[in-house]
Structure 1
Amino acid sequence: MEFLDFGHNPWLVVTSFVVALVAGATGLSLTRDLSEKSLSQRRLAIALGAVALGGGIWSMHFVAMLGLRLPILFYYDAAITLASALIAILMVALALVLLHFTERSRGIIIAAGAIVGAGILAMHYVGMAGMQLCKPVYTLQGVLGSSVLAIVLCILAIGVAYNERSNRTIAIGTLCFGVAVFSVHFLAMAGTNFVALKEIREFGPVISNEVMAVGVILSSFVIFGAFLWVGTTYLVPMQATEIPMTGVAQDEPSANQTPPIRIPCERDGGKVFIAAPDVAFVRADGHYTQVYTRTEKYFCVWPITEAVKRLEPTGFLRVHRSYIVNPKKVARFERTKDKGQCTFGEADLPPVPVSRSNLKAALTAFG
C-alpha cells in the first residue's frame, strides 16, 4: 500500500483554531445565567448553544481539511458530511441538556465533558469517511491518542466553564474547548495516512472542495455573527431591569441594607419576581420548584439545590430534601416521634413535612 505525501496550509490551520475559539465563546456565552430564565428561553438557548458548539466543531474540521494538501484531486460525500455535522450538534445538545436540566454535580460535569469529547471524535472520523477518491488509513496510536485528549480536554473545558459562571471561567473554558477541538483534529491527522482510490464510492451526492469551501464560509459567517451578537452583552454594564410584581409586598431597604433576594417565577406566560420575605416555603417539583406565598403558588426554574444555596443565607431553613421554609412564616411546629410538621397561619397553605435528618435543625430553629 503506497501512502500519499500530504501537508497543510498554515493560514487555514490558524483560521481553524480561531473558528474553534469563536464557537466555544459563543456556545458557552449563550448558556450563561439560564437558571434565571424561563423554560422556553432555556430550551432556545440550549438549542442555539448546541448549534454554535457543534457547528463550530464541524466548521473547524473542514476549514482545516480545506488546507489539506494532497497530490491528487479528492471530493466529499454530501450525505456523510451532513451526518457528521448533525452528530456533533446532537451530542453537544445532549451534554447541555444534562448540564441544565439535571442537578449539576461532579459526575454530571464529567459525563457532559466526555459526551462533548466523544462528539468531536465522532464528527472527525465520520467526516473523514466522506472523502472520495482518497481513503484515510488510521493508526492505533493516533486513534487512542486523539480519543484520550478529546475526552480529557473537554471535561476540563466543561469543568472550568461550569464551576462558576463568570466571564473569567467562560474565557478559560473557551480556550480549553478551542484547544480540544484543534489538537484532537491534528493529533488524529498525525496518525493518519492516505491512499488513492480509482473510483468514487457512491453513497450520496459528491461535492468538490470549492463547494465545500462555500459551505464552510457560510457556517463560519453564522458562528462569527452569533459571536458578535452575544459578545455585546459583555460590553453593557449589568443593570437592574427586573420589575417587581404588582400586588406583592416589597420590603423597602434602607440605604445601609441589602435589598431582599427576588425569586424569578412564572405565571400566565410572564415572568414575575417574588421577594424572599414574602415566601412561606419552596417545594421541589422535578428539576424545578414551586414557590408558595400567602395567597399564591408560582413556578420557578430554580432546582431545589439552587433555591437552598440562594435562600439559606437569608434565613430560610431546609426541613426536607424537597422543602425549604421561611421560619418567620411558620405558625406552628409539631414533632411526631422522629419527624415533624410545619403549618402556616393561612388556611390555603398546606403543611410542610420535616424529615428525620432535618429534625434536629428544625428543633433548634423553632426553639
Structure 2
Amino acid sequence: MFVGHNPFLVALSVVIAILGGYTGFGLAARVRDTGSAGRRLLLAGAAFFLAVGVWTMHFVGMLAAPIPLDATYLILPTIISFLICALVMGVSLFFVSLDEPSNLRIVASALLLGLGIVSMHYVGIHGLAGAFHLEHQHTMMLAAAVIAVGTAYGGLRIFLARHDGMRLALSAAAFGIAVSGMHYTAMYEMRFLPGPPLRTANGLAASPEVLAVIVSLLCFIIIFGFLLFLVPEPQSRALMSASAHETDTDAFDTTQMSRSDRNGFGSARAQTPLPTGMAPVTRLPVEGADGTHFVEVGRIRSIRANSHYTLIHDGSRERMCPWAISHAEAHLDPATFMRVHRSHIVSIRYVSLIRKEGDSAVVELDGEVPHLVPVSRVRIAELRARLGLIRRSV
C-alpha cells in the first residue's frame, strides 16, 4: 500500500503537520504569560491549529494513498473525526496549563491525546464507503497507537518547556514527522480488499475531489496562522501601554520627590525598610498541581501582579504565588528587590539592560528565558541610581 502513495502529497502532509504543530505549540507556550481572558483565547487557538494540522495532515495522506476510485467519504464520520481531534487537543492542553502539572497528569493527558489522535485516524478511515472492505493488522495498529501516545507526550513536554525560536522549530519538526509516522504506520497495515462493502454511502457523502477542495482551504488557514504567528509581538508598545496606565499612587510619588529627583540627578528615593525585627524571607510560595512549593528568592527575577495574587518569574517561566504584590514587597529584602512599577518588582542583580521607552523605561532580566519589565517614569531615577548609573548625592 505505502509504495503506491503520491510522494508530493506525502511531503505536503508532513509539512502541514509541522506548520500546525509550530503554530499550535507556539500559541500554547504563551498561555502562562497571559491573563485569564487571553489564556482562554490562546488555548482555543492552540487546540484549533493543532487539531486542524493533524486532521488536515491525515486527509492529505488519505488523498496521497492509492484508494479505490469508487471510494467516497461519508460526511458524518469525517466531521466526527475532526471533533474528536479538537476535543482531545483542547482538554489535554487545558489539563497541563493548570498551575504546575504533575508527571501523572502529563502522562494521563498524553494518553488521552494519543488515543484521541488514533481514534480520529480510524474514524476517518472507516468513513470511506465503496465496493470494498478494510482489513487491519493488529500488531501495526498497536505500533501506531504507541507512536501517537509518544508523540502526544513529547508535544506536551514542548508546551511545558516553552520553547521558542529555533528550538520550537526543531520541536515542531519532530512533532510533525512523528504524527505523520503514526498515520503512515497505520496506513501500511491497512488493506483494501474487493468484496461486499461493510458500509454504503446512504447518508451524505463527498467525493475525493470535494475533500481535496476542503483540505486545500484548511492548508491555507494553517499557512496563514503560521505566517501570522511569525509576526513579532510589539513588546515595547505593550510595555509602554502598561506604564502609561499608572495609578494615582505613582502620581502621588511624583509630588513627594524632590526637584532634583524628578530631573534624574539627585539622590534616589529611600528604600522602605522592613518592619523592625522582621528579617526578609528567603523563599516564596508557589502553587503547583500537587500542592504548594517554595522558590528561593535568589532565583527570582521578577514578580508581576495579577489580580489578587502574583506571578513569579524564575528565569525560565512564571509560576503563581498566592501573595499580593504589596505583601511580597513588604517581606523581600529592599537591598535586592525594587518596585519599579505598580505591577512589577525586579531583582536588581538580574537587570541586564535598561532603555528609555518614551517617558518611561524597560529593563531586561537575564535567565534561560530573558524577559522585559516596564519601569514607570517616577522610578527611573531611583533604578538608575541603584544600578550605578547616577551618582547619589551625599
Give me the TM-score of the superposition, normalised by structure 2.
Answer: 0.62
Unpaired runs of at least 5, structure 2: 255-260, 266-283, 291-304, 332-394
SS of 1:228's equivalent?
A: helix
Tell me if the contact between 2:99 and 2:287 (Cα under 8 Å) persists in the aligned partners: no
Partner of 1:246: 247
Partner of 2:37: 40
1:307 is aligned to 2:312: yes
1:24 is aligned to 2:29: no
AA partner of residue 185 (structure 1): H
Tell me if the contact between 2:59 and 2:215 (Cα under 8 Å) persists in the aligned partners: yes
1:170 is aligned to 2:171: no
Tell me if the contact between 2:29 and 2:163 (Cα under 8 Å) persists in the aligned partners: yes
SS of 2:191's equivalent?
A: strand
Task: String of CA shifts for 1:230-273, please: whole Å, max 9, x gaps.
Answer: 1112xx68536322322244899x99xxxxxxxxxxxxxxxxxx
Partner of 2:85: 88
SS of 1:104's equivalent?
A: coil
Q: Give distance in 2, aligned partners of 1:220 and 1:71.
A: 24
Q: Give distance in 2, aligned partners of 1:128 and 1:301.
A: 48
1:66 is aligned to 2:63: yes
SS of 1:224's equivalent?
A: helix
SS of 2:248's equivalent?
A: coil
Partner of 1:179: 177
Go from structure 1 to structure 2 and tell me whether the alpha carbon gap of 1:35 and 1:139 turns closer, same or farther (over 3 Å shift). same
Go from structure 1 to structure 2 and tell me whether the alpha carbon gap of 1:307 and 1:138 turns closer, same or farther (over 3 Å shift). same
- After TM superposition, the runs of 4+ consecutive aligned structure 1 residues lying more than 6 A away are 281-287
Q: Give distance in 2, aligned partners of 1:51 and 1:152.
A: 21
Tell me if the contact between 2:2 and 2:187 (Cα under 8 Å) persists in the aligned partners: no
Q: Give distance in 2, aligned partners of 1:328 and 1:211.
A: 62
Go from structure 1 to structure 2 and tell me whether the alpha carbon gap of 1:241 and 1:218 turns closer, same or farther (over 3 Å shift). same
Q: Map 1:150-229; keep pairs closer than 5 Å.
A: 150-198=148-196, 200-202=199-201, 204-229=203-228
Give the Å deviation of 1:5.
9.7
Tell me if the contact between 2:26 and 2:168 (Cα under 8 Å) persists in the aligned partners: yes
Go from structure 1 to structure 2 and tell me whether the alpha carbon gap of 1:202 and 1:75 turns closer, same or farther (over 3 Å shift). closer
Go from structure 1 to structure 2 and tell me whether the alpha carbon gap of 1:45 and 1:161 turns closer, same or farther (over 3 Å shift). closer
Task: String of CA shifts for 1:277-314, please: whole Å, max 9, x gaps.
Answer: xxxx9997999xxxxxxxxx961686xxx53847xx9x
SS of 1:136's equivalent?
A: strand
AA partner of residue 205 (structure 2): V
Go from structure 1 to structure 2 and tell me whether the alpha carbon gap of 1:228 and 1:212 turns closer, same or farther (over 3 Å shift). same
Q: Give distance in 1, aligned partners of 2:308 and 2:55.
A: 36
Give the Å deviation of 1:98.
0.9
Q: Map 1:250-265; keep pairs closer than 5 Å.
A: none
Go from structure 1 to structure 2 and tell me whether the alpha carbon gap of 1:248 and 1:111 turns closer, same or farther (over 3 Å shift). farther
Q: Give distance in 1, aligned partners of 2:19 and 2:135.
A: 31
Tell me if the contact between 2:10 and 2:61 (Cα under 8 Å) persists in the aligned partners: yes
AA partner of residue 154 (structure 1): A
Q: Give distance in 2, aligned partners of 1:166 and 1:106.
A: 22
Task: String of CA shifts for 1:133-157, please: whole Å, max 9, x gaps.
Answer: 1332111111110011111122123
Partner of 1:337: none
Give me the TM-score of the superposition, normalised by structure 1.
Answer: 0.67
Tell me if the contact between 1:19 and 1:220 (Cα under 8 Å) persists in the aligned partners: yes
